[in-house]
Amino acid sequence: MSGQAGVAASGRQQIVVSGGGGQGVLFATRLLADAAILRGASVLTSETHGMAQRGGVVLSHLKAGDFASPLVRSGHADGLIVLKEEILPLHRRFLSPGGWVVMNAVRPPAAEERETIHTVDADGLAQETGNLQSANLILLGFALSRLGMAETGGLLFCSPDDVRAALRQRLGERESLLAASLAALALGISRGTR
């Protein structure tokens, strides 16, 4: 864990976010990018859309820090955020040795050697709250809480407060949407401390 924390603390981090079309992969990535920018970091992102409108795979690369290319090479991602459990085998190759996975799943899958998997049933929680489109923010909140911020010994370049600020900036005056988004993020954060 300390090796990965060192990577995040150095100001450079590579994350791959994946899921199905309509799950909010790009929104979650943009929030992380906004949070990095608010912290004064350079950010590069790239996205690959499959048949997004038909539930196909959507893959997003995020690099925070001093990088020249937006694409994360196989074996170089510090972490994966996976919104759809069955996609993990497709994108696990991006993960560096000792990397982390935060995944939307009912039960943790078998971890491969030298990786740590954290799971939360974000879909189930979204269904319980009646906001089916909030699984991405629940999962993001869970990741922020479970992994912690590098400055305090954790693994991520940003904090829950950074993402809250990014949400406020991105959603602006849309009060009901902002309130629902902040509530979903808070729910994920509370689950990450368990």
The pLDDT tens digits for 23-61 are: 899 999 999 999 999 999 999 999 886 655 566 889 999
For residue 151, name the pLDDT band (cuts at 50, 70, 90). confident
Confidence of residue 112 (pLDDT cuts 50, 70, 90): confident
Phi, psi of 170 (to 5 degrees): -75, -40
Q: Which structure tokens are listed for 82?
A: 């996976």
Distance of alpha carbon 156 from alpha carbon 11, whole angstroms = 10
pLDDT at residue 49, rounded to an integer: 66
With 0-12 / 13-18 / 19 or more C-beta atoms within 10 angstroms meaning exposed / middle / buried, residue 101 is buried
Higher pLDDT, 84 or 56: 84
